[in-house]
A and B are shown apart, each in its own frame.
Chain A
Amino acid sequence: MSHPVGPNAEGLRRDALIERLALFSLTGPALLLVTVTMLLPVGWLFWLSFLNDAGAFSLEHYHRMLVQPSYGRAFRMTFEISFITTAICIVLGYPLAYVLSQLPRRAANICMIAVMLPFWTSLLVRTYAWLVLLQRQGVINSWGMKLGLWDTPLALVHNLNGTLIGMVHIMLPFLVLPVYASMRAIDKDYLKAAANLGASPTRAFWLVFLPLSLPGLLAGSLMVFILCLGFYVTPAVLGGGKITMVANRIATDIELFFNWGAASSLGVVLFILTGIILYVASRIVRLDRLLGGGGA
């Protein structure tokens, strides 16, 4: 763009620049902090993942990931658990959001407390609560046996079951919130129009309501899946050492073996996979919707 010439053009251009710089500088502190505590460390890990023990460039950490079956298992388990958790969240979350969206606003807001309270309750507290509920002498087993539902304690925790229950419980609000929001935004006239055009209630739901709520559902599911990939606390506590997701493997590599290269390369691969999923998904759903779903 050529610079305009005319009275005051120079001064006005300078003023515009100064204003832009001033507003930009407001983002400075946040940007600096995120750079120092996030971009720099993660970048450093990226670098480390390409160095061998002697400090020379090498792909040995990535190579080991391919040959050592335990790494492959961690990745497979991570994706399996994330997938199952997301699926259960959809099955439970969609009907719940649907019912909430049909309620009068006041009633829905009260029910929303039940969704929001766990959302903001410490993850550790909830994980602990599940441990208490699910363990061998826990509430569920002792009540189940007292009522004669089963005779020997069920293995509900320190395994895959416990991990899944805990993760679904933590992730469910992340699905319900965006789905609920997108359902609330659906104009009821569409359904009236569908009925008017001859659709049965069931068909109106499948043909009109479901497609309109789909963006929210996709955004929510994506959020759940991506957050699941990075889970650490729940599998560590409720998995009882049997469940090793990638994040747990990373922590073990650091805590037990001080193997920065191995841990970094795992983290880098996890991060890149997350990025790819996000990128592919961003072609389908708008990402700002996803971020509007809340953070944790």
Chain B
Amino acid sequence: MARDAALPITVRQLTKSYGTLRVLDAVDVDVQRGEFLTLLGPSGSGKTTLLMMLAGFVRPDCGSIRFGDREVIRLEPHKRDVGMVFQNYALFPHMDVAANIAFPLKLRGVSKAETAQRVEQALELVKLGGYGARRIDQLSGGQRQRIALARAIVFEPRILLMDEPLSALDKQLREHMQIELRQLHERLGMTTVYVTHDQREALTMSDRIAVIDQGRIRQIDTPKVIYERPSNRFVAEFIGESTFVTVDVRAGECTFQGIPLALASQPARDGSHHLMIRPERLTILEDATPAGVNVLPATVTAAIYQGDSVLVQASLPGGTMVSVRTIASGRMPSIGEHLRVGLKASETYLLPADESAA
């Protein structure tokens, strides 16, 4: 399976309403050839609906979906040639593992000998070689997940769709499978659209993430940009923990409660802005202040030991609460203690107040 066999997906003005409820509102998405794109959003955001439309199981009201140059929006699911993995895997319990994987090949009239060979190849690919004769109810959750994947890719579809495929697995297995899925994607190079509500999963696996809320795409970009430079407050708050404090920009000078702040980049215009503060970007300063670090006075309200780190909650001047994540080996601050909290100028990020409305 070569990367050039993968197809790009072009979605335009995709719209769906149930009664007065807009599930998808004129959505535009471009998925590059061979890209791993994750649709990330809270439940009811429309991410699964969008995926089901790509597969052909939900009919949109209007819009356009192209795989390569081909308009597929009115095409029936079985003519779309996309592999699909469902949340509950939907393996056929009345067939053994091999028959499940052979299913798409049988429908395509592949010869028996070739089918057997390709089934075994697919099993090897998901590291379950020799499992062909097992019954579905003899498999563990992780094995079922792999078989579902093998079944979805054995017929070499040029697009792979996955609907929260790891959500039924326990945490450890899930993290392991994330890496494995990612490696498999690098090997096969299929254009992949992946739905999840788990932001960490999205950050780990994706080339790009599309953050969806209320039927609209709020931002679509690489994990790094989504995390570090969210284009609006919804994205910033949905991905990672973040607190916003209001800062004032006047004539290129930025101040917070009268404290001057050095910024990574100058905002384009004056006025009220929101400064994004993430717990892991803050440090507790002991004595000396390193160069290029903004210092904010804070009062500790809680300190929580979390094993690998200590989460300190503190209030800033003006009463805004922020969280600071520090290494656990350090001193545990006590409640009521006054601290100096540092934020590197290079790690500051501002959203204009009017654009940041969620």
Contact = CB atoms under 8 A, between A and B. Distances in A.
Partners in one complex: yes
Interface of A: 1, 4-9, 11-13, 15-16, 19
Secondary structure type dominating chain B contacts: strand
Interface residues of B, number: 15
Contacts of B240: none
A19 to B, nearest CB: 8
Interface in B30-69: 59-64
Given A1-B19, A7-B64, A12 B13 contact: no
Contacts of B26: 6
B119 interface: no
A253 B3 CA distance: 82
A9 B59 contact: no
B74 A6 contact: no
Nearest to A13: B61
Contacts of A19: 59
Contacts of B12: 7
B73 interface: yes
Given A12-B73, A12-B74, A4 B61 contact: yes
A14 to B, nearest CB: 9
B63 to A, nearest CB: 6
B204 interface: no
B63 A7 contact: yes
A12 B53 CA distance: 12
B346 interface: no
Given A1-B19, A15-B74, A8 B64 contact: yes
B334 interface: no
A176 B74 CA distance: 51
A4 B59 contact: no
Contacts of A1: 19
A4 B74 contact: no
A7 B15 CA distance: 10
A7 B11 CA distance: 11
Interface of B: 12-13, 15, 17, 19, 26, 59-64, 71, 73-74
A6 B62 contact: yes
A8 B15 CA distance: 11
A1 B22 CA distance: 13
**Which of A7, A12, A16 has most B Cβ within 10 Å?**
A7
Nearest to B76: A15
Contacts of A11: 74
A15 B26 CA distance: 20
B62 A7 contact: yes
B15 A12 contact: no
14 contacts: A4-B62, A5-B62, A6-B13, A6-B15, A6-B26, A6-B62, A6-B63, A7-B13, A7-B62, A7-B63, A7-B64, A8-B62, A8-B73, A13-B61
A1 B61 CA distance: 12
Contacts of B61: 4, 6, 9, 12-13
A115 B223 CA distance: 63
A248 B314 CA distance: 86
Contacts of A9: 61-62
Nearest to A19: B59
Nearest to A12: B59
A13 B61 CA distance: 7
A23 to B, nearest CB: 13
A213 B203 CA distance: 51
A117 B68 CA distance: 62
Closest A-B pairs by Cβ, 10 of them: A6-B62, A9-B62, A4-B61, A7-B64, A4-B62, A8-B73, A11-B74, A6-B13, A16-B59, A15-B74
Contacts of B15: 4, 6
A16 B15 CA distance: 15
B74 A8 contact: yes
A79 B1 CA distance: 76
Contacts of B71: 8
Nearest to B26: A6
